Structure 1
Amino acid sequence: MSGLEILQSGLTAGQAMGWMQILLSFAIAQQSLEHLARGDRLIFVPRLVLCLLMALGLGGAWPVWGLWGNSLAMLWRYQGPYNGGSDKMSMLILSCLSLAHLAPTPFWQEMALSYLAVQLVLSYFVSGWVKVVNPDWQSGAALRDVFRFSAYPVSESLRSLADHPRFLFVMGWAVILFELVFPLALLNPVALKLALLCAAGFHLSNACFFGLNRFFWIWLCAYPALIWFQDRIL
């Protein structure tokens, strides 16, 4: 199969669910290992076991349902999604996968995966819309303040980027425009694969610059649903 054929190929619903479960097991296991170093074994040891079962394809849908229930326990234990967007996306993916496994017919299974795909697209578009109507993002001041004042940069040397306003202005608008036009990638299989590569690069840069590594892994977990969704609607 040529490179172009790979980019144009889609996924079945079953394949999308399989890939999501493998990626999700890795992402959640990584988070769980971080917590085990601090304690909380009552929640995170079972979480690791469920991730292993899901990665190996053992137990059918039970590991997915188990992780969903475990995630509910985490929401109670930490009084909400303490990692913000990454925890919300984790719960969204687990909820949609759980519903897909519970679906009585292929139609309802597809509805669960479609909902996840639409939410993923909206996560980019809405983020871009919030930025484009914000004067600080329009002028580049928002990124400047992030590098100058926030606790995010993982290296103090990154603070010097605040002294390059033109660079931050261009980068800020590049992010805004990419997020706003992201839904258009659904019109073409190759465009979608390239858009997802760009999006993954964006999340990777956030992990490197700001230490937001969980966003990188968990957003990747939802990508198979969007690849399947595009093939379904075209």
Structure 2
Amino acid sequence: MMTLELALRATEVLLAAALLQQSAEHIFGSQDTRLLFIPRAVLSLVLLTGLYSNWVLLALSVHSLLILHRYQGPYNGGSDRMGLLILYCLCLSRWLPDGISTEAAFGYLAVQVILSYFISGQVKIVNTEWRNGRALQDVFSFSTYPVSESLRALADRPRLLWSASWAVMLFEVLFPLSILNSTVLILALIAAAAFHVANAWLFGLNRFVWFWIAAYPSILWLQTRLIPNA
């Protein structure tokens, strides 16, 4: 059973790993932002230890405002927004009084992650180009993502891409139903993680892997909280 404390701690560890990856890109890459991300890396390492998590999360939350100011918002789109959502929900969960307030803050994270899959699928399924497979064909044919030439050949296999399109859309729109059963939810999260890993391999979207996986303990906890015997 995923207890609240176990889910919170697991989320902290996974978030720390995601923030370390993000920070390393700047510390070892760009001199302009190195000093900005060294404190985030140090705080993330401390978060891994579990010492004074509430204060570390508060410090990371305050520091995130400096990064938001520097880039005039989440500079890397969806993955940064998810990282901030996890960070702020964790911080609230650690600082709010124990009980319904803590559960509400952490449960909000789980609901938002579930909705992120559902809304993504809903947006795709009303799009004609996704329904006929053309969207994926264009991704492999014209995308600026680092797709290898061998993978670009997939654009010439419309039936395969049509099947893949529908598999993705159906998985995303049906994802909320997985919370009704613990075994189904675990399988769904494994499939979702594999999906993010595939996107990292195919298109270089590596940040999405850690940030989304970091939110999974909240969904496992919410399922236990809402349907304990499922």
TM-score, normalization: structure 1? 0.94
Q: State which of 62, 66, 83 in structure 2 corresponds to 1:73.
A: 66
Conservation of the 8 A alpha-carbon contact between 2:109 and 2:218 = yes
Cα distance in 2, alignment partners of residues 211 and 226 from structure 1: 26
Conservation of the 8 A alpha-carbon contact between 2:140 and 2:147 = no
Q: Which residue of 1 aligns with 2:9?
A: 18
Alignment of 1:149-228 (within 5 A): 149-228=142-221
Shift of 1:123: 0.4
The CA RMSD over aligned residues, in Å, is 0.9
Conservation of the 8 A alpha-carbon contact between 2:196 and 2:208 = yes
Q: Does residue 102 of the first structure (1) align with residue 95 of the second (2)?
A: yes
Shift of 1:60: 2.9
Runs of 4+ in 1 over 4 A off after TM superposition: none
Shift of 1:160: 1.1
- Matching residue's letter, 2:8: M
Number of residue pairs matched by the alignment: 225
Q: Which residue of 1 aligns with 2:24?
A: 33
Shift of 1:41: 2.5
Q: Which residue of 2 aligns with 1:111?
A: 104
Conservation of the 8 A alpha-carbon contact between 1:153 and 1:159 = no
Q: Secondary structure at the match of 2:75?
A: coil
Q: Secondary structure at the match of 2:215?
A: helix
Shift of 1:156: 3.1
Shift of 1:105: 3.0
Shift of 1:163: 0.7
**Gaps spanning 5+ residues in structure 1: where?**
1-9
Per-residue CA distance 1:53-72 (angstroms, 9 max, x = gap): 10011223111111111212
Per-residue CA distance 1:213-234 (angstroms, 9 max, x = gap): 1001100000000000000001
Cα distance in 1, alignment partners of residues 122 and 143 from structure 2: 22
TM-score, normalization: structure 2? 0.95
Cα distance in 1, alignment partners of residues 98 and 12 from structure 2: 20
Q: Which residue of 1 aligns with 2:137?
A: 144
- Matching residue's letter, 2:9: G
Cα distance in 2, alignment partners of residues 78 and 154 from structure 1: 28
Shift of 1:79: 1.3
Per-residue CA distance 1:196-219 (angstroms, 9 max, x = gap): 000000001000110001001100
Cα distance in 2, alignment partners of residues 108 and 92 from structure 1: 17
Cα distance in 2, alignment partners of residues 35 and 157 from structure 1: 31
- More divergent stretch after superposition (184-193 vs 75-84): 75-84
